[in-house]
A and B are shown apart, each in its own frame.
Chain A
Amino acid sequence: SQKIEQNSEALNIQEGKTATLTCNYTNYSPAYLQWYRQDPGRGPVFLLLIRENEKEKRKERLKVTFDTTLKQSLFHITASQPADSATYLCAMISSGSARQLTFGSGTQLTVLP
């Protein structure tokens, strides 16, 4: 069955370090992959989208990679700050006709001051 897994439920890092979050998928052929941020009590907010033919995408301190051979996406936050603390969700859009967005269960990131 199709599965999207984010490597850990919680990740704690020290302020200033680079946070790396992992999203792995199986039995899936995503045409696109998106990353969202969700704060407690709020809806997810879109951060970045990467297409299957792109290796890397950057936006300010954020970087996403997409490896269709490894079936994995990595999400990096450089020079992390306590304000980056949130849950980060990866989501995939299949290349089939439904093209619906399927989410992973998220990784809760805490950046310690």
Chain B
Amino acid sequence: DTAVSQTPKYLVTQMGNDKSIKCEQNLGHDTMYWYKQDSKKFLKIMFSYNNKELIINETVPNRFSPKSPDKAHLNLHINSLELGDSAVYFCASSHGRPSTDTQYFGPGTRLTVL
């Protein structure tokens, strides 16, 4: 009964490929997020969805496209992967819009681009 799950846990791929990371939460939360954690452990918001509506879209390359088919899922599709995309990507969710609500994080997906 994992609260926030992500697949895959590890993703190794070649430059130029397209890949997707899936995220699901079973907490009944309305808001979901994607974060990127680089090699220096700095965790940075990429996107946030509230009830399937995009509410935060930080400055990330448009090769990154989030897709929210329903409230419980937020997938991340990455086109034309580059070496600099190598990082750990975390999905998270919270009850409401980003505010005082606790964010629950998934286990992360370690992406390595060769």
Contacts and interface: CB of A to CB of B under 8 A. Distances in A.
How many B residues touch the partner, as a band?
20 to 34
A39 to B, nearest CB: 10
Interface in B81-107: 90, 92, 97-100, 102-107
Contact of B99 (A46, A99, A106): A99
Contacts of A46: 102-104
Contacts of A106: 41-43
A105 B43 CA distance: 7
Contact of A32 (B40, B100, B106): B100
A105 B39 CA distance: 11
A58 B41 CA distance: 26
Contact of A98 (B40, B98, B106): B98
Interface in A14-64: 32, 34, 38, 41-46, 49, 51
A51 B99 CA distance: 11
Q: DSSP majority for the A interface?
A: strand
Contacts of A32: 99-100
A15 B91 CA distance: 33
A44 B107 contact: no
A111 interface: no
Contacts of B90: 43-44
Given A98-B98, A99-B99, A43 B41 contact: no
A105 B105 contact: no
Nearest to A101: B98
A43 B4 contact: yes
B27 interface: no
Contacts of A99: 97-99
B100 A43 contact: no
Nearest to B91: A43
Nearest to A32: B100
A102 B56 CA distance: 12
Contact of A44 (B45, B56, B97, B105): B105
A106 B92 CA distance: 18
A109 interface: no
Interface string B1-43: 0001000000000000000000000000000000000001111
